[in-house]
Chain A
């Protein structure tokens, strides 16, 4: 059973369709990357999931229940939506104590999570003086306060230094290894590629991919063919149903294609192959292409 289920979720703000018929599932024991460029509808989806906004239609549930139906939300779901939800005049410890008090969590838990996120030494300092990285850590501390089985983190790596990014990646992996459900959003695939198992990609309010990271990586395989008449080879390969593009005037790149198919198609068309090589596109380029293609189709 999935821990988080988004079903035909739609959110309209006046004339703007921020989230359009989005459906996906997030499973326990895995880190799921929720990816998409800024403005693609990620945060809106997460806000609806967390009961902060109402959907226009569709549903977003955790363990089959809407957020407001959860009997003890802070112990079931830990969420860090952004790094700016603190009163600047309160200290880090005061901020967490307010959450702990309102939910009946033991006060000792505040010190534990501050230690876990590495903020013990600044626990008594006002949040107004915190760097973005420290605020991110405090947001995460708030999410972990109830020791929840589901974690929802919106762009948790923003503003963190390399050491912080490394630390949070390790933390997310260990939380998933404990059987927890971890949904982490990002506008950069490369940022979370080392951490996530599954990916859900959103673009213009639509889900354009819901798959595993390894499957996504397979799609990034690119065959490059150089020939005497590249423009003609593009036509031949397009006719064969491949996804190709002309590169530099004398070469053709086909994504997700088999080298043999390209070689045979070129031979059948009487085009000499001067070079046939496999090039692994980096994930970020693939992500960009994936999003870009969708946006072009929709434009």
Chain B
């Protein structure tokens, strides 16, 4: 077995031996299924589109944002947690090649993010199909598959962005607070008010092009995927050139 395969297995073991992952899976499942059921319950009422319409089904399938946020946090915990709990010390004593350890962590979180998002979207989609079938509706809008793929890509990208933020800050709480502050205050409130045309090019704005149905304010899916991957790559490169090389205390 090569060193890389061993490291991958160790990273997967790390993921599944803390509570963050099982707790996230339970929360994501409940929220995905719950949000679909709530959307279904209010469909056709107080101005909401009717159940079975493309607009309503797209609304029910806006699940990529949920898995992306959870993957951002899991990514931060996976990388920042190594510094917070100082498990980075035994990790680097066992494998002193930092670039290799970091690369494997990024890859494992990206794949986990894709699988996790696929499961969350799959559960939500299953709930949508069952709910529609209960009302005698047996068709899905054309963009459903694209939203599924977009959510999987967004989950992988935000997992990687989380790893980069955790490594850059070496602090789980700081990174989570900074990420939320950026997403809500900087990107959604300040920048959207000052330069609204910029919004779709920023990380959260770009992700909407992947996880939401096509609309005028968001990037087309391919461009959105490229922009988001670019942010992940830039942040990972920055972390690998700075904090990853620094002394571990």
Chain A residues with CB under 8 Å of chain B are 47, 50-54, 67-68, 70, 73-74, 77, 79, 81-82, 84-91, 94-95, 97-99, 101-104, 142
Closest to A52 in B: B248
A94 touches B94 (CB 8 A): no
19 further A-B contacts with Cβ under 8 Å, apart from A52-B93, A70-B96, are A47-B247, A52-B92, A54-B247, A67-B96, A73-B96, A79-B93, A81-B89, A81-B93, A87-B18, A87-B87, A94-B17, A95-B90, A98-B10, A98-B90, A101-B9, A102-B7, A102-B10, A104-B1, A104-B6
Is the pair A89, B247 in contact by a Cβ cutoff of 8 Å? no
User: Could you tell me how many residues of chain B have their Cβ less than 8 Å away from some Cβ of chain A?
Assistant: 27
A sample of 30 inter-chain contacts (CB < 8 A) reads A47-B248, A51-B92, A51-B93, A52-B89, A52-B247, A52-B248, A52-B249, A53-B247, A53-B249, A67-B96, A70-B96, A79-B93, A81-B89, A85-B89, A86-B85, A87-B18, A87-B81, A91-B17, A94-B17, A98-B14, A98-B17, A99-B94, A101-B13, A102-B6, A102-B7, A102-B9, A102-B94, A103-B6, A103-B94, A104-B6
Query: Chain B's nearest CB lies how many Å from the CB of A280?
Result: 40
CB-based contact B10/A101 at 8 Å = yes
Query: Would you list which residues of chain B between 1 and 31 have a CB under 8 Å from chain A?
Result: 1, 3, 6-7, 9-10, 13-14, 17-19
**Are B6 and A101 touching (Cβ within 8 A)?**
yes
Contacts of B247 in A (CB 8 A): 47, 52-54
Query: Whole-angstrom distance between the alpha carbons of A91 and B16 in the complex?
Result: 12
CA distance A53 to B98 in the complex (A): 12
CA distance A51 to B87 in the complex (A): 15
Q: Which residue of chain B lies nearest to A48 when distances are taken between CB atoms in the complex?
A: B247
B242 CB–A CB distance under 8 Å? no
Residue B197 is within 8 A (CB to CB) of chain A in the complex: no
- Whether a CB of chain A sits under 8 angstroms from the CB of B139 is no
What is the distance, in angstroms, from A137's C-beta to the closest C-beta of chain B? 15
Residue on A with the closest CB to B92? A52
With contacts A85-B87, A87-B87, A142-B90 taken as known, whether A94 is within 8 angstroms of B13 at the C-beta atoms is: yes
- Segment 64-87 of B: residues with Cβ below 8 Å from A: 81, 85-87
CB of B88 to closest CB in A, whole Å: 8
How far does the Cβ of A206 sit from chain B's closest Cβ, in whole Å?
21
B196 CB to nearest A CB, Å? 43
Alpha-carbon distance between A121 and B95 when the two chains are bound, in angstroms: 29
Within 8 A of A (CB), among B87-127: 87, 89-97
For B85, give its contact among A70, A85, A91, A94 (CB under 8 Å). Answer: A85
